[in-house]
Structure formats: structure tokens, C-alpha cells
Amino acid sequence: MKNYIITEGQLKYILSENSDKIKKGIAFKITHEDNLEPVYESKMMTFDSEVDFESFKDNLPEDQEIIGIIDID
């Protein structure tokens, strides 16, 4: 199991949002050309549907890679 850092603010926001949207925690690996070390970042995000989420994944910039996803109920 991998561990990812999620801030308290991210968690409060996503858990307090009352909607029919899909909620996901997403871990990214970001590799910049001018930096030898990748940057790891996590975000809590909402999507209108799985189709919207798939579209988001398909349109990520080339320097970003999703390395982990959790569904939040």
C-alpha cells in the first residue's frame, strides 16, 4: 500500500461537499524538464460523472502522471 499526503483543508472540503458529484483523491507525479527530481502532489477533486473523470485523465499535461486514485464516499 502506498501512502499519500492529503491536507486537512482538502479533506474537510471534499467531505463537507453535499452533492451527487463523484469525489476522488488523486496522486500525481509531476516531472519538469528543468528539474531532475519529480514532484509528488495530491488533490481532492470532484467530477460530474465517470465520463468527466476519464476526460480529465485523457487531457492531463504530458509532464503529469496519475500514480494513485481513491474513491471517496
pLDDT in tens, 21-53: 888 989 999 998 787 788 898 888 989 999 999
Phi/psi for 44 (5° steps) reads -100, 125
For the domain bounded by 8-72, which CATH number is listed?
Answer: 3.10.20
Does the pTM exceed 0.85?
A: no
Question: Would the pLDDT of 4 be above 70?
Answer: no
Tell which wins on pLDDT, 60 or 35: 60
pLDDT computed for residue 56 by the predictor: 96
